[in-house]
A = this chain, B = another copy of it.
Amino acid sequence: MKIAVAGAGAMGGRFGYALHQAGYDITFIDRWESHVRTIRAQGFRIHINGEDVVAHIPIFYPEELVQSGATFDVVILLTKSSQLDSMLRAIAPIVTRQDTYSLCLLNGIGHEKVIEQHIPRSNILLGNILWTAALVGAGHIKLENSGAVDLCELHPNGKATAQKMVEILEHAGLNATYSTDVYYTIYRKALLNCIMNTLCTILECNMHTTGTSEHLRPIMMGIIGEFAAVAAAEGVRFDSKQAIEGMELSSRLDGIGVHFPSTYQDLIVHNRLTEIDCLNGYIMERGHHHGIATPCCSMITQLIRCKEDILNAK
């Protein structure tokens, strides 16, 4: 199975590296020049569980790869959400082939709506990652903790490939599960992101520290209420009780609590625009669509956008 990873950032790097280590034929696709240049010149530097390794994995700009005529069985999509559409346009000749499947593993909700504008539903797989990963700088990522991933097909046509991808990811040590209810896990993770990623970014601290404040709870309950209402309107299963339990686990110091989530890394560390539009901003937008009030998600969305403006994030 020939696999491309479109978006070779922290999480793309984690998945590409794990698959490469397990012996699969991996190609990275990315647009960030100093990242591509560094990886080509010095290899991909990966600090994994306290150890430094250098992986030599091919990396291409989208246009280069398209020109080369390369084809893939599966393209794993792991760009930033704001770059998804332009990446799909750039690699259209690759991802629109009838025998190529695209596996969307981006953070946040609603990406399949963007992907369906480029690729037929029959060739889309959708999954959800519970691993963490951090970008240190160009060509350099840091990987800690353990995690999991689950995925499924959007259309029966993709079932065999989805199941094959689960086997491959599992073989690469990525703790993969085939799920018939992937929206449930996507919403559940997105809820964590909508609360923890945004609050850690607004308050500039890690998940454990955010979790220590007793005043987190009313904020959390407000967001969960809006999430549950929008999920119901969207026909997605959502379990508030499990969501609360997940939230409590997330701030444990012996777990991912020490982690500074991706939204924090984007805005505070790397001065980049966040994925708020696919998190609280998505709930706000879908709430508006369904006539559901989402004042908590709206407030969080606008605060993150204010902070992006003030920090002049790009």
Main secondary structure of the interface of A (DSSP, over half): helix
Residue of B nearest to A205 (CB): B310
Instruction: Report if A255 contacts B (CB, 8 A).
Output: no
Q: Is there an interface contact between A202 and B202, defined as CB atoms closer than 8 Å?
A: yes
**Which of B213, B293, B298, B299 interacts with A300 by CB under 8 Å?**
B299
Whole-angstrom distance from the CB of A152 to the nearest CB of chain B?
A: 35
Q: Is there an interface contact between B215 and A306, defined as CB atoms closer than 8 Å?
A: yes
Q: Which of A30-38, A62-70, A216-224 contacts B (4 or more CB under 8 A)?
A: A216-224
Task: Count A-side interface residues using an 8 Å CB cutoff.
Answer: 27
List of B residues within 8 angstroms of A214 by Cβ: 309
Whole-angstrom distance from the CB of A271 to the nearest CB of chain B?
A: 15
Q: Which residues of A are interface residues toward B (Cβ below 8 A)?
A: 199, 202-203, 205, 209-210, 212-216, 218-219, 222, 293, 295-296, 298-300, 302-303, 305-307, 309-310
**Which of B205, B212, B306 interacts with A199 by CB under 8 Å?**
B306
Whole-angstrom distance from the CB of A267 to the nearest CB of chain B?
A: 12
Q: Residue among A218, A303, A306 with the most chain B CB within 10 A?
A: A306
Q: Is there an interface contact between B219 and A310, defined as CB atoms closer than 8 Å?
A: no
CA distance A82 to B214 in the complex (A): 20
Q: Is there an interface contact between B299 and A213, defined as CB atoms closer than 8 Å?
A: no
CA distance A203 to B303 in the complex (A): 8
The 9 closest A-B pairs by CB, nearest first: A295-B295, A213-B309, A215-B305, A213-B306, A299-B299, A215-B306, A215-B302, A219-B302, A218-B302
